[in-house]
């Protein structure tokens, strides 16, 4: 299911943030994003033949070419998508983003807009397959909304699915490492960290902290429901989107997107995983299922 969901979320991001430009190139762009993201964790930091880093450099060139080719149309201001908005944004002094600035923003935006949603939806489908009682509860909630395209208000009322998404994000944060820099001297658990120190924050450390979560290795969406609300034991107990001033700007959009996809799936399908199947995640960059996550689908 993973590669299918990745194609879907990239198509959605292309429609929403680029006005549908270049949608016929999605296969090449998808492969370029995969190579570029995986290169970030390459141990060999030189574009040697056959290395992950070289593939990433080549993928980056494909992405730059893709966005530069579509930039003139976005500059023309014919649509109201984010690509066009970045091209036309003007400061009080009349300055605009350079072409390079726009392309760099769009590469990061499109990666962030579809990779994390793909991982989240993949994880949720896995847990719903492993825990059919939650799949049925989520399906009943989706049925109550109906078969039509749900609006934002309807999606926000999907509380069961919301609990499942939150628990999936706790057990598998789509971004396993968040970089921050200290703005002042600080002491954490007896360790002194000077101001202006670059720090790597790992959400999984917080998400599996036994002083915050009961039986943290267990899938238990109810921990986010009243009256338990284990996520409120600390302001940073649950941080799949980061926290503070630089908390993920796309959190609300991404959550609504995942809910919309799951609503459609739950209305038309039931699914299971093979007997005794346990997913294995490749965590060398962003977490992806090693085998793509095989699901056995049946129409409702």
Helices 251-268 and 132-145: crossing angle in degrees, nearest 10, is: 100
Structural domains of the chain, count? 1
Which pLDDT does position 24 carry in this prediction? 86
Binding residue positions for heme: 248
With 0.85 as the threshold, say if the pTM is over it. Answer: yes
Q: In which band, very low, low, confident or very high, does the pLDDT at 77 lie, cut at 50, 70 and 90?
A: confident
Residues 165-221 pLDDT 10s: 999 999 999 999 998 999 999 998 899 999 999 999 999 999 999 999 999 999 999
* Per-residue model confidence (pLDDT) at position 19: 87
Look at the block and give the residue holding tokens 């002491």: 187
Average pLDDT over residues 238-259: 92
C-alpha distances (whole Å) from 193 to each of 167, 186, 200, 206 are 31, 5, 12, 19
Mean pLDDT over residues 82-98, rounded?
91
- For position 78, which CATH number holds? 1.10.630.10
Q: Which residues line the annotated binding site?
A: 248
Range(s) of the domain holding residue 268: 2-299
């Amino acid at each position: 299911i993973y590669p299918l969901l990745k194609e879907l979320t990239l198509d959605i991001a292309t429609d929403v943030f680029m006005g549908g430009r270049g949608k016929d190139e999605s296969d090449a762009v998808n492969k370029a994003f995969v190579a570029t993201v995986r290169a970030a964790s390459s141990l060999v930091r030189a574009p040697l033949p056959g290395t992950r880093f070289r593939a990433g450099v080549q993928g980056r060139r494909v992405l730059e070419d893709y966005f530069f080719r579509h930039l003139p149309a976005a500059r023309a201001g014919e649509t109201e998508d984010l690509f066009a908005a970045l091209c036309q944004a003007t400061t009080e002094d009349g300055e605009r983003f350079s072409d390079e600035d726009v392309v760099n923003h769009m590469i990061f935006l499109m990666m962030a807009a579809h990779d994390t949603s793909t991982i989240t939806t993949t994880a949720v489908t896995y847990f719903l397959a492993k825990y059919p009682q939650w799949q049925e509860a989520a399906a009943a909630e989706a049925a109550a909304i109906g078969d039509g395209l749900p609006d934002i208000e309807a999606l926000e009322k999907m509380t069961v699915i919301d609990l499942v998404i939150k628990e999936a994000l706790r057990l598998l944060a789509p971004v396993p490492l968040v970089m921050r820099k200290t703005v002042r001297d600080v002491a954490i658990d007896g360790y002194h960290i000077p101001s202006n120190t670059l720090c790597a924050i790992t959400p999984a450390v917080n998400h599996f902290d036994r002083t915050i979560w009961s039986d943290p290795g267990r899938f238990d969406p109810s921990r986010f429901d009243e009256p338990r609300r284990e996520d409120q034991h600390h302001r940073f107990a649950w941080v799949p989107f980061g926290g503070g001033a630089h908390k993920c700007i796309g959190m609300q959009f991404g959550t609504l997107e995942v809910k919309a996809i799951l609503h459609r799936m739950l209305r038309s399908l039931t699914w299971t995983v093979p007997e005794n199947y346990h997913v294995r995640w490749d965590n060398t960059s962003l977490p992806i299922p090693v085998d793509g996550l095989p699901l056995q689908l049946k129409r409702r």
